[in-house]
Amino acid sequence: DAMVIQNPRYQVTQFGKPVTLSCSQTLNHNVMYWYQQKSSQAPKLLFHYYDKDFNNEADTPDNFQSRRPNTSFCFLDIRSPGLGDAAMYLCATSKVDRAPYEQYFGPGTRLTVT
Amino acid sequence: AQSVTQPDIHITVSEGASLELRCNYSYGATPYLFWYVQSPGQGLQLLLKYFSGDTLVQGIKGFEAEFKRSQSSFNLRKPSVHWSDAAEYFCAVGPNAGNMLTFGGGTRLMVKP
């Protein structure tokens, strides 16, 4: 089945130690998103790629970076994680020219910062 | 600016009872509307969507939602809740100024046996 895959599902990192979360998709969708979701809150959009074009939300901290080396893969890099960055990170995709704004989500990566 | 309000943070229903989760939105034109469900520790799964046409939309898992333009609402319903429906439910509207979705704060559904 076509899907959005996130690895790892659980990630523990130390305060200040860089960490990378990965997302891959077999849907061939041109848009990929990264969301941060804290407990009992709605997902908060960090940034998205429209093909290779990177779009950063205005309030996304500089500590968060992203890479999209090809259509299928997208990475979230947290350069110096703080305790406040502990959250669920969700990757999503959409195909703008067919079902606009309908986003397909991966299972998420739960990040713990010690 | 667009906004989505889910007035009920928590709802508890008995298994087999009917369910209605409320969603109110603020949007300048005809919106695209979505309901997503999130089980604990999982990503969001699309339950149903409204783009245009029939205002009563059917989704997966026996859910339906009705778009009421006059009330700016898109409430989610299910006639008989199952214990496996216990989850967090998010209503979303788009597109916003950045062509993205705006999510509501979510409603956590608990199901009593």
Q: Give the span between the Cα atoms of A8 and A3, in whole angstroms.
A: 15
Query: Is B82 within 8 Å of B111 (Cβ atoms)?
Result: yes
Q: With contact defined as beta carbons under 8 Å apart, do B44 and A108 qualify?
A: no
Q: Over the Cα atoms of chain A, what is R_g?
A: 13
What does the pLDDT look like over B32-81, one tens digit per residue? 999 999 998 889 999 999 988 889 999 999 999 999 999 999 999 999 99
Joined tokens for residue A88 = 């669920």
At residue A100 the predicted structure's pLDDT band, cuts being 50, 70 and 90, is: low
Sort out which chain A residues have CB atoms less than 8 A from B98's CB and list them: 55, 57
Residue A96 clears pLDDT 90, i.e. is over it: no
Candidate from A9-13, A55-59, A72-76 with smallest mean pLDDT: A55-59
Query: Chain A to chain B, count of Cβ pairs less than 8 Å apart?
Result: 54
**pLDDT at residue number A3:** 92
Residue A2's pLDDT band, with cuts at 50, 70 and 90, is low
Report the DSSP beta bridge partners of residue B102: B93
Say which amino acid occupies B30. T
DSSP for A78-103 reads ESS--GGG-EEEEEEEE-TTTSTT--
| pLDDT at residue B53 in the model | 86
A97 has pLDDT over 70: no
Average pLDDT, chain A: 92
Rounded-to-integer distance, Cα A80 and Cα B86, Å: 36
Among partner residues B44, B49, B95, which is closest to A105 by beta-carbon distance?
B44
* Confidence (pLDDT) at B97: 67
A27 contact residues in B (CB cutoff 8 A): none
Strands B19-21 and B73-78, sheet pairing: antiparallel
Closest by CA position to B73, among listed B88, B56, B87: B56
**Cα–Cα dist A32/B42, whole Å:** 18
Nearest CA in chain B to A36: B43
Q: What is the pLDDT of residues B1-39, one digit of tens each?
A: 788 999 999 999 999 999 999 999 998 777 899 999 999
Chain B residues in contact with A6 (beta carbon < 8 A): 43
